[in-house]
Amino acid sequence: MALNASLQGKTYPAVRVTLDQARVRTFAHAVDHRGPGIPPTILTVPEIEAGLRNVVADPELGVDLASVLHGEQVYEWSRPVAAGETLIAEASIESIRGRGAMQFLTLRTEFRDERGDEVAVARSTLLIRGEG
C-alpha cells in the first residue's frame, strides 16, 4: 500500500529526553567509543523517541516496523552533547517518495537544548517495502 504523500510536512510532538549517565555508558561501550566526549550518535536516542516511535504508531501512515529498512542517515552537529544533558527533539516528515514496491520516507529531527539553542539536526531515510 502506498504511503499517503499528503502527510509530507507532518510534525510530531516534541519530546524531552535526558541522556542519563548509565545509558550513555552502555551506548559508548556498545559502539566502542574511546573518547573524547560521548558518542556523537547518542542523538539516536531522542531521535527514535521523537520520530520512529511515532511513525510506526501513526495510523495515517500504516507502516509496519518489520517492513522498514534504514537507507540513509545524516547528522549535523552544532556542538557536542554532554552526558546528563536534556534535549528537546522534534521530528517531521520531510518527504515521501514512492518507487514501485519500495517507498522512501525521510524524517527530519531537530535537537535543541533547554535554552532553545540548536544542538544538531538529523535526517533519516527509511525504505519501506510494500506488498507489491
What's the CA gap between 124 and 31, in Å, rounded?
Answer: 19
Q: Write the CB contacts of 131 (distance below 8 Å, at least 6 apart in sequence).
A: 1, 101
**Which residue number, 71 or 130, has a Cβ lying nearer to another protein?**
71
Q: To the nearest whole angstrom, how small is the minimum distance from the Cβ of residue 6 to another protein?
A: 27
What's the CA gap between 12 and 106, in Å, rounded?
Answer: 14
Q: Where are the alpha helices (DSSP H) in the chain?
A: 21-30, 44-47, 53-57
Q: Which of residues 41-100 bind another protein (CB under 8 A)?
A: 41, 44-45, 48-49, 52-53, 65-66, 69-77, 79-80
Q: Is 9 in the site for another protein (CB under 8 A)?
A: no
Q: In this chain, which of 12, 15, 39, 55 binds another protein, going by CB under 8 A?
A: 39
Q: Which residues bind another protein (CB under 8 A)?
A: 23-24, 26-41, 44-45, 48-49, 52-53, 65-66, 69-77, 79-80
